């Protein structure tokens, strides 16, 4: 049974209120905001059965609206990067909002992370919906989004459906920053990934090719401490991991990506997804962001594991997955976050 609790709302400094709810099945619990579809807190047990929050967050709407780290939010209408904020489809050119170097990142400066979503209960979780109008951050067509957070045992399911009335690329991801033991660094977290390939990229994060991970710091097929390879030249420009790994999943089934674990708490998180890629981001540029209790967050204090369509794939048709959604088609993202403990 999942308990659904309504918490005291926050005042939105832009006007109106931000709803807050908690869902709890006795194993996992979430606090969810109507702002940005944000998961503000996610509680899971350690090896001794003690529950604690595993994601970074803020204490007010003002702090969420001030930071640009996308803490716990849904990134979209198209997460990750689109080169030069430009794309073309069916002979039409589109200029998007440019908000990172020369790119449109995570849907632009007023992306889905800053929108107010409609929120309501499900029998096993919470459902959020959003209407994004034609031209929002330059994206074509009216876009309707349905987001479900559902709890089943030690699993969190994130399922997203979206449709448009004009062809538009869609890629939505959950951008939580995970820290499984409450430490001030992710360096002691261990990560194992099944991926054998990743996207090489230029100096502003746009894909330039597909490479194998063999004999590189990006080969995480065996469990590896996240801090072990930070001095490697491959990670110098990004100041850590900020790379898109490719799933070998042509049928878009729910398939295992990898496992993050903490030997300190015994907690482990395994991700399964139907998406063609997963961005691994080591919070390389998090420093200076305000977190809970006005804590100034540090570089590498957590890690993001972001299932998604591939960056710039609206412009690079040879990349895995078809990013463009046509009227009458349905975008479907489902990911399962499985929380376990090691002895």
Give yes or no for a contact between 337 and 153, defined as CB atoms under 8 angstroms apart: no
Q: Name the nearest CA neighbour of 65 among 10, 19, 114, 119.
A: 114
Question: Which structure tokens are listed for 218?
Answer: 């990006």
Predicted pLDDT of residue 249? 87
Residue 26 has what pLDDT? 98
Q: What is the pTM of this model?
A: 0.97
pLDDT score at 233? 95
Contact 148, 127 (CB under 8 A): yes
Looking at residue 273, its pLDDT comes to 98
Q: What is the pLDDT of residue 252?
A: 86
- Which region holds residue 106: left if phi is over 0, alpha if psi is between -120 and 50, else beta? left
Residue of 36, 107, 104, 110 lying closest to 74 (CA atoms): 36
Q: Which residues are catalytic?
A: 175, 306
Give me the DSSP letters along 289-330: -B-GGG-B--TTSSBEEEEESPTTTTT-TTSSS--EE-TT--
Give the residue ranges of the chain where pLDDT is below 50: none
Check if the beta carbon of residue 304 is closer than 8 Å to that of residue 173: no
Contact between 309 and 276 under an 8 Å Cβ cutoff? The reply is: yes
Mean pLDDT in the chain?
97
User: b/e for 58-74, b at 16 or more Cβ within 10 A?
Assistant: beebebbbebbbbbbbb
- Closest alpha carbon to 285 in 274, 272, 298, 295: 298
pLDDT in tens, 221-277: 999 999 999 999 999 999 999 999 999 988 889 999 999 999 999 999 999 999 999
Tell me whether residue 306 is exposed, middle or buried, using C-beta atoms within 10 angstroms of its C-beta: 0 to 12, 13 to 18, 19 or more. Answer: buried
């Amino acid at each position: 049974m999942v308990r659904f609790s309504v918490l005291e709302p926050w005042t939105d400094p832009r006007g109106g209120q931000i709803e807050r709810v908690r869902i709890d099945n006795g194993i996992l619990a979430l606090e969810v905001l109507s702002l940005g579809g944000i998961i503000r807190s996610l509680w899971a047990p350690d090896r001794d059965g003690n529950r604690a929050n595993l994601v970074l967050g803020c204490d007010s709407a003002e702090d969420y609206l001030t930071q640009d780290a996308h803490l716990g939010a849904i990134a979209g209408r198209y997460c990750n990067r689109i080169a030069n904020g430009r794309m073309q489809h069916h002979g039409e050119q589109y200029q998007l909002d440019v908000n990172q170097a020369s790119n449109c990142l995570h849907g632009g400066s007023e992306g889905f992370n800053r929108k107010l979503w409609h929120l309501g209960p499900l029998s096993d979780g919470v459902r959020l919906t959003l209407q994004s109008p034609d031209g929002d951050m330059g994206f074509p067509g009216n876009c309707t989004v349905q987001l479900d957070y559902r709890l089943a045992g030690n699993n969190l399911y994130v399922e997203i459906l979206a449709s448009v009335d004009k062809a538009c690329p869609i890629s939505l991801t959950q951008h939580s920053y995970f820290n499984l033991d409450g430490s001030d660094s992710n360096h002691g977290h261990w990560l194992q990934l099944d991926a054998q390939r990743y996207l090489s990229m230029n100096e502003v994060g746009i894909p330039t090719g597909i490479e194998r991970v063999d004999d590189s710091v990006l080969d995480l097929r065996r469990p590896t401490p996240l801090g072990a390879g930070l001095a490697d030249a491959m990670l110098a420009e990004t100041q850590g991991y900020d790379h898109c790994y490719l799933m070998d999943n042509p049928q878009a089934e729910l398939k295992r990506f990898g496992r993050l674990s903490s030997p300190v708490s015994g907690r482990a998180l395994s991700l399964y997804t139907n998406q063609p890629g997963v961005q691994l981001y080591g919070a390389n540029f998090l420093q200076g962001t305000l977190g809970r209790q006005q804590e100034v967050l540090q570089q590498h204090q957590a890690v993001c594991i972001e299932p998604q369509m591939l960056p710039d794939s609206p412009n690079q048709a040879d990349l895995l997955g078809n990013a463009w959604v046509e009227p009458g088609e349905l975008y479907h993202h489902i990911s399962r976050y499985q929380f376990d403990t090691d002895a």
